[in-house]
């Protein structure tokens, strides 16, 4: 069996809620997340706002230190890396941020923005200007943009510049944190197609974080559905979309708009009433049970295990556990 490029094992991150003199509680932003990503593939991480998706992305890149758990990159625990090994990991594993307007330094030209990481990592480039122009062409820009400032570009162009800056380091793994959510729909399609093309050309591996289910379906080989700090369903993208198992996943997919009114009327709709509970004080048992239309008595007492219902399709729900 080939080794996964990224392997996450029981990852947890609790943030303290500080009172005047002491810690009053803990926000369980990520609470026992595990998954694997094979080289050259895309894992889509979906869920409501505040469920912990971005925190997972930052933990996987070691931008945050975990409360507990491990992340393995090419078989090495990234939380034990030091010195040159840690620096090499940071070169190989990069992140595209959600807001293209604040991810670029407004006082630097495009040339300086893209060349900065090259200088930090002391990469050998014989002709910096030609090197950066080549990168600009790869992301759909050209040499006329080289000495302009970020304020002279649209949101989509800024995101292209951010992608070019990452490509300068020749990465292997990229966390995409809602990279198109701040862009117009037509521009979103261009950026998504660019990311797909770059993945095919350079065999890149993506962790694609989004709440836009249509975008995730287009981009992903695998889907992980998060709810209140935990993954509740995991499987091949098409199978999860065609045959969702967890009630929360079904409720999420019920909210996807369909352009055909006739199909919309015929579609089975499942609603999850109310708001998600507080991650400071999550409910006992299954975390979705206060909102679940299929809840049983044991849902409020026992936390369900993650079980494989079909080939490589996992779900965390008592509806599928053996009696």
What pLDDT does residue 275 have? 81
Contact partners, residue 87, CB within 8 Å, separation at least 6: 121
pLDDT tens digit string along 226-275?
A: 999 999 999 999 999 989 999 999 988 887 766 667 666 666 677 777 78
Of the two residues 19 and 142, the one the predictor is more confident about is 142
What pLDDT does residue 10 have? 95
Tokens 């510049």 correspond to: 161
What pLDDT does residue 170 have? 93
Structure tokens given for 148: 């302009």
The structure's pTM equals 0.91
b/e sequence 107-140, b meaning 16+ C-beta within 10 Å: eebbbebbbebbeeeeeeeeeeeeebbebbebbb
Of the two residues 260 and 64, the one the predictor is more confident about is 64
pLDDT tens digit string along 125-139?
A: 999 999 999 999 999
The rounded distance, in Å, linking the Cα atoms of 13 and 26 is 10
pLDDT tens digit string along 6-48?
A: 999 999 999 999 888 888 889 999 999 999 999 999 999 998 8
The rounded distance, in Å, linking the Cα atoms of 102 and 280 is 29
């Amino acid at each position: 069996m080939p080794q996964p490029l990224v392997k996450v094992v029981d990852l947890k991150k609790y943030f303290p809620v500080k009172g005047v003199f002491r810690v009053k509680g803990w926000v369980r932003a990520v609470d026992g997340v595990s998954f694997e990503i094979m080289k050259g593939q895309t894992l889509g991480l979906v869920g409501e706002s505040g469920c912990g998706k971005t925190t997972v992305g930052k933990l996987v890149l070691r931008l945050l230190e975990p409360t507990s758990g491990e992340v393995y990159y090419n078989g090495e625990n990234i939380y034990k890396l030091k010195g040159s090994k840690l620096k090499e990991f940071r070169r190989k594993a990069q992140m595209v941020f959600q807001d293209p307007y604040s991810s670029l330094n407004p006082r630097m030209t495009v040339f300086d923005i893209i060349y900065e990481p090259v200088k930090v990592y002391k990469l050998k480039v014989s002709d910096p200007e030609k090197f950066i122009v080549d990168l600009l062409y790869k992301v759909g820009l050209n040499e006329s943009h080289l000495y302009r400032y970020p304020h002279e570009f649209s949101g989509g162009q800024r995101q292209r510049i951010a992608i070019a800056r990452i490509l300068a380091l020749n990465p292997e793994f990229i966390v995409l944190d809602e990279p198109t959510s701040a862009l117009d729909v037509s521009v979103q399609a261009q950026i998504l197609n660019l990311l797909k093309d770059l993945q095919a050309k350079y065999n890149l591996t993506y962790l694609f974080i989004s709440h836009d289910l249509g975008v995730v379906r287009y981009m992903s080989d695998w889907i992980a559905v998060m709810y209140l700090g935990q993954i509740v369903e995991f499987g091949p993208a098409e199978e999860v979309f065609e045959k969702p198992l967890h009630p929360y996943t079904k409720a999420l997919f019920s909210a996807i708009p369909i352009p055909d009114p006739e199909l919309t009327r015929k579609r089975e709709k499942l609603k999850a009433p109310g708001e998600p509970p507080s991650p400071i004080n999550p409910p006992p048992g299954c975390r979705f049970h206060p909102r679940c239309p299929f809840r049983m008595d044991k849902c409020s007492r026992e936390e369900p295990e993650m079980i494989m219902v079909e080939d490589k399709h996992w779900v965390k729900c008592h509806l599928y556990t053996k009696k």
